[in-house]
Amino acid sequence: LGVHPAQLHVLHELAERPARSLADLAERTHTDPSSASVVVQRLVERRLVARSEAADDRRRTEIALTAAGRALLARAPANTRV
């Protein structure tokens, strides 16, 4: 698949529901916000996730899977869920 376990964990979390913020994603993945930020940046660079400005608060950035991210998860073996 070409992704690290931490990246795959984030993709699975985002498949369940988009993150309302980086802090939300960090909490859901039980990581520090700085670690989650690095993982998200790498996934953004690969176009597997996308950041977008929150509709209700322009200071907050939401994070969601892209079609490419969903396609990668569809190819992932079932036992890759952390």
- Report the SS3 class of residue 50: strand
Over residues 65-80, mean pLDDT: 90
At 81, is the pLDDT very low, low, confident or very high (cuts 50, 70, 90)?
low
What gap in Å lies between CA 27 and CA 67, rounded to an integer? Answer: 24
With 90 as the cut, is the pLDDT of residue 49 above it? yes
Which DSSP category does 39 fall into?
H
Backbone angles phi, psi at 19, to 5 degrees: -90, 135
Average pLDDT over residues 45-70: 93
What is the per-residue pLDDT across 4-22, written as a single tens digit (0 to 9) for each? 999 999 999 999 999 999 9
26-44 per-position pLDDT tens digit: 999 999 999 999 999 999 9
Whole-number Å distance between alpha carbons of 51 and 58? 12
